[in-house]
Amino acid sequence: MRALKKSGTSPEVLVLELGEERKFMPSVLKVAQCAQRAGVDRHGILVALGGGVVGDIVSFAASMIRRGVGHARIATTLMAQIDAAVGIKGGVNFNQSKNYLGCFHPPEEVLVDPDLLKSLPLAAVRQGMAEIVKIAMIRDRRLFEMLEECGETLIGTRFAQPVAVADEVITRSIDGMLIELSSNPYENMTLERYVDLGHMISPALEAQSGYTLHHGEAVAIDLAYTSCIANDAGHLSDEDLLRVIGLLRRLDLPTNHAFLNEALVLRAFEDTEKHRGGALNLPVPTGIGTCDFIRSRAELSDATVTRTLMRLAETEDMLSEADLCVVI
């Protein structure tokens, strides 16, 4: 506010109480009302100060006000700093559909200051970590190893310690995300995107929970389940499957859910095909830091779904027994 006032502007401030359960159209309209009250013209700019939900809502509002005004994102959660604020998408949920309404609207600026994470609840740090695990899984083995070595400390200190590792983890995550997005920012070149790993069953899980399950937690469950699909299809070794689910559990992220069953997975396949032009294009890990696609639903029978759900439960049991051995 001081910086803005110094530059001669007197910004109108709107404080919104938001969460996933309020990421709906009425919140976008509140932003539009505020912009209208403030007399925002075509050169006006909206500043989103907050996490991924605030960024998505403000970005969507900015794309519609006067058919598009500028916006900047000051990302205050780990999830926003390494993922939500890095891309060019905004949007809101509609009925039971996650991010059904939305836009591609590139921000003018994105500010990432890890100091802002100091006040973040630990649960929110953990949720952001799920997207870092995803980026590591699709393209960055070293990042995965850094999380194996220091992930718990990074969460516990809200990315204050170890300083050099915290900086490198955030930078590698943003760089990785930018590289993955840059050749296809509007998603019109291809519907095969590695960054979609972890986003097949997660939207259905979030919606079914009435948006009480956080996006990052849903992504963690999806990463664990999709790794089981990859293992079943012969793409991912048993050892790497244990590493993925083991890391998620060490970071205290969920890897399963009461809502995760055959019906939900089959519904998610259908939704995914609708979203990806009729093809499944499911990114699956083929190792730590490498990925490929299962392109067609025909490659995954209903029996596969049942088998992989059992595989997930077995792997979790195996890891729990290993934990017990360590405690003894």
Ligand X SMILES: NC(=O)c1ccc[n+]([C@@H]2O[C@H](COP(=O)([O-])OP(=O)(O)OC[C@H]3O[C@@H](n4cnc5c(N)ncnc54)[C@H](O)[C@@H]3O)[C@@H](O)[C@H]2O)c1
List contacts with ligand X (CB under 6 A).
19-20, 23, 50-54, 56, 76-77, 79-80, 83-84, 87, 89, 99, 116, 119-120, 124, 127, 215-216
* Shortest distance, position 118 Cβ to ligand X, whole Å: 7
Compute the least distance from the CB of residue 56 to ligand X, in Å: 5
List the catalytic residue out of 23, 89, 98, 134: 89
Least separation in angstroms between residue 201's CB and ligand X is 15
Least separation in angstroms between residue 15's CB and ligand X is 11
Please give the structure tokens belonging to residue 72. 């900047």
Q: Beta-carbon neighbour count of residue 45 at 10 Å? A: 16
Nearer to ligand X, 105 or 235 (CB): 105
Decide if 118 is catalytic: no
Residue with the two structure tokens 């995300």: 177
- Residue closer to ligand X, measured from CB, 23 or 243: 23
Nearer to ligand X, 196 or 232 (CB): 196
Give the span between the Cα atoms of 308 and 10, in whole angstroms.
56
**Residue nearest ligand X by beta-carbon distance:** 52
Does 162 sit behind a cis peptide bond, omega within 30 degrees of 0 on the bond before it?
Answer: yes
Angle separating helix axes 302-327 and 215-232, nearest 10 degrees = 110
Show contacts of 208-215: CB within 8 Å, 24+ apart: 208/259, 208/264, 209/259, 210/21, 211/19, 211/20, 211/21, 211/23, 211/93, 212/20, 212/21, 213/257, 214/20, 214/123, 214/127, 215/20, 215/52, 215/79, 215/127
* Side chain identity at residue 312, one-letter code: L
Q: Which is nearer to ligand X, 129 or 241 (CB)?
A: 129
The answer to whether the CB of 135 falls within 8 A of the CB of 143 is yes
Min dist CB 139 to ligand X, Å, is 17
Nearest to 77 by CA among 131, 139, 141: 131
Nearer to ligand X, 55 or 289 (CB): 55
Which residues participate in catalysis according to the annotation? 89
